[in-house]
Structure 1
């Protein structure tokens, strides 16, 4: 059964045999883990055994813990960490076997990084998912992050004005841990009075974290201000410029193929499948296709190649040039700035 982190507390009144917490967000994973442990201890699970699947991990150790009576507690929690989110052949067989022999005095908590789609189709996952609860913990983005931060504001009983809420979103999007710490600080500094953006400026500095994929999405949607903000953050975090240029070139090549098909009056359906563009990503490409001409995309590709060539031949990390390139995803800016050489 799949349950999202914001709903998990409602599902802990009667505990399942197993909980799986997988995701790329440290704050969500740890908060979810802590909540499960807290609820379990209230129901008599007083001892915790921690196992980690490292090199030469012996899966029989998990079997022994599952079958052995504790000297200290009648009920135990076994925390099993899968660093690669892959138990392997032996681990998969062991997990399936254990779940066929339920032990009401054991709660199994499995944790690891974000699962790929094919991993959720594996036998071990399906068996555990049927007997327990799967809590995916990806970092919320966009409106999901806004909803998360609004929930945390309510949790801390803060009065934050709309301009300050927007500033918090810009400051901390992608970094839930820093956002939660900031709200805790605000609760200490200003627990009862409304908080505006001017006060936030005095308290905090920018601690948002972004990925190259988020940069691409903002460009496809023509969110210039946010794109430049993400680019600054990526540079500050030490993301290599070749990675950004490679991503831009890849996405522009996809856009070129789609736009060419569109110009030729072809259906885009076979292209979506061929290019592995899933339904969630289609609106972003459609927004760019409706906005950009074929000549715009051609020019963007040329300028991306020029920046890459400058980097390879001269070792020049031209972040200003990449910023300029980001602006050219807007046709109006393209018409006024495209003549500038990279």
Structure 2
């Protein structure tokens, strides 16, 4: 069964479903949906939480063993299955379908997926996740430029802030396309609004747009193969206090998009048609940058760098050792064309 975000909130007030699936490429909204499910599970008595990260070496027998074992510490538990590549393979597909057909008692499964492409949506396991009576499938859609002012107004209202029309326009412009940055700026504005009113002058004073444009400058510099300059921009962002999740969001979004384009090119679809099929379509001024990057690197490289981005995400969340800024630097350099020992074997 498919649910939107509002339907998920209502459904979680009823009996928990055996399986929840979150699919999409918008990290803020996907993370908030997952947090709602986790909170509902805790309220329902789940005290044990198991998290599985699916990569090429993942043993799907772990999922089978979990479904056939009793909880060690509590009667109820939450099991999270994170599939950043979006394709579990034959063994994983069988394991997911088996869980759906016979979910273990007192256990909630939360599956996290990126946005699924058309061919993946037609697979048996993906159809099962969207249609099975034991599953609740939440598709996370990005907030486009036309929807952003309304989205911002709702988020501001939730923290007791009423913006003027020009303040809302400027705020939407300065955070457009980056909901993580938008959420951070709204938190900041709660400290600067008198009597809950937000005017243009406050936005101009509090919300800086330089970091946003620098992040996108980082992406384009990286894609143009300017490794040294890209690394300087990355270091500058860190020095200015830009959070690592904001940088990762920009890099991962671009790499994921290019991985999809590289897949289409492998199917012998002309480049112009690939650009036109994107949502939104690629702007003319960016076609040269993206075209050069697609010529420089084959599809397996983009897929490998998505995995690298997932590892950085785990470092940011404290789930993996290491510095996320080092991981970001490695991604920037290898996409720009510098061969690195840990990533070079997957890039060519």
Using structure 1 for the length normalisation, give the TM-score. Answer: 0.62
Structure 1 unaligned segments of length 5 or more: list them: 210-229, 245-273, 286-299, 309-342
Q: Is the 8 A contact 2:192 2:202 kept in 1?
A: no
- Residue matched to 2:97: 96
Structure 2 unaligned segments of length 5 or more: list them: 226-253, 255-271, 292-348
Summarize deviations over 1:269-318 as a string: whole Å, max 9, x none. Answer: xxxxx95867987xx99xxxxxxxxxxxxxx99xx99xx9xxxxxxxxxx
Query: RMSD of the TM alignment (CA)?
Result: 3.3
1:236 offset after TM fit, Å? 5.0
Structure 1 pair 164–7 and aligned structure 2 pair: CA distance change class (3 A): farther
1:111 offset after TM fit, Å? 0.7
SS state at 1:189 partner: coil
Structure 1 pair 86–280 and aligned structure 2 pair: CA distance change class (3 A): closer
Tell me how far apart the structure 2 counterparts of residues 208 and 108 of structure 1 sit (CA, whole Å): 38
Q: Is the 8 A contact 1:178 1:207 kept in 2?
A: no
Q: How many residues align?
A: 240
Q: Is 1:83 aligned with 2:84?
A: yes
- Residue matched to 1:160: 163
Structure 1 pair 241–71 and aligned structure 2 pair: CA distance change class (3 A): closer
Matches within 5 A, 1:225-240: 234-235=216-217, 237-239=219-221, 240=223
- Residue matched to 2:107: 106
1:60 offset after TM fit, Å? 0.9
Q: Is the 8 A contact 1:20 1:133 kept in 2?
A: yes
Tell me how far apart the structure 2 counterparts of residues 237 and 278 of structure 1 sit (CA, whole Å): 21
Summarize deviations over 1:45-72 as a string: whole Å, max 9, x none. Answer: 2210001112321111111111111121
Which is higher, the Rg of structure 1 or of structure 2? Answer: 1
Tell me how far apart the structure 1 counterparts of residues 158 and 46 of structure 2 sit (CA, whole Å): 27
Q: Is 1:144 aligned with 2:147?
A: yes
After TM superposition, which residue ranges in structure 1, 4 or more long, deviate above 6 angstroms?
A: 276-281
1:206 offset after TM fit, Å? 1.1
Tell me how far apart the structure 2 counterparts of residues 199 and 235 of structure 1 sit (CA, whole Å): 26
Matches within 5 A, 1:300-339: none
Q: Is 1:26 aligned with 2:27?
A: yes
Q: Is the 8 A contact 2:21 2:110 kept in 1?
A: yes
Using structure 2 for the length normalisation, give the TM-score. Answer: 0.61
Q: Is the 8 A contact 2:22 2:30 kept in 1?
A: yes
Tell me how far apart the structure 2 counterparts of residues 26 and 85 of structure 1 sit (CA, whole Å): 15
